[in-house]
Amino acid sequence: MGRLGIIIDKSPTDPIPAGVKRLVFIDFDVAPAATGTTNIGFVDTPVRKEVVNGTATPLVTTFTTAPVLIAGPTAANVYVEGRVLVAGHGVPRAIVSYTDIDGITRRTTADSFGYYRFQNVEVGRSYVFNVTAKLHTFAPRFITINDALDNLNFEAEP
């Protein structure tokens, strides 16, 4: 069990804009083997649970305890990026693709310096990466993605 106190101190002359729905975002780690339901609620320590306006007048507020379902680990998505090179120089507009075991292919085009990037690549799966560029040949690469990759570079074959 952990506790977190949040105080948002704003000047009455600098109000929060109308329509703002989230003032605080809390990101927390869950123990690796945790599953099931747990409650997240509000208590009066380490800070008192209240909402006041700019003149410290309490505002009517409802604090609700709510269950959170911890579903256990799931496959995450990461990025894969790198560079397409010929003799150490970037290859502009090279087509980089990857194909999964189901035959689904995603493609992207390298920028003018040969850099490319894929977002939302599923972790724990294997892919065949290919590069196509005019006048150059690249060996395909079979890669199992376990984490984000920021240096999956392809050098043209001689």
Domain range annotation of the chain: 1-74, 77-155
Whole-number pLDDT of residue 75? 64
- What number of H helices and E strands is found in the chain? 0, 10
The dihedral over CA atoms of 49, 54, 60, 64, expressed in degrees to the nearest 10, equals -40
Instruction: Please determine, looking at this structure, whether the domain spanning 77-155 carries the CATH number 1.10.10.10.
Output: no
pLDDT 10s digits, 52-81: 877 788 888 888 888 877 765 566 799 999
pLDDT 10s digits, 79-112: 999 999 999 999 999 999 999 988 999 999 999 9
Residue range 126-154: average pLDDT? 95
Higher pLDDT, 14 or 2: 14
Whole-number pLDDT of residue 72? 59
Q: What is the token pair recorded at 15?
A: 């109000």
Q: How far from 49 is each of 60, 63, 99, CA to CA, in Å?
A: 11, 8, 52
Dist. CA 28–CA 104, nearest whole Å? 34
Whether 106 contacts 69, CB under 8 Å = no
pLDDT range class, residue 22, cuts 50, 70, 90: low
Q: Is the pLDDT of residue 2 over 70?
A: no
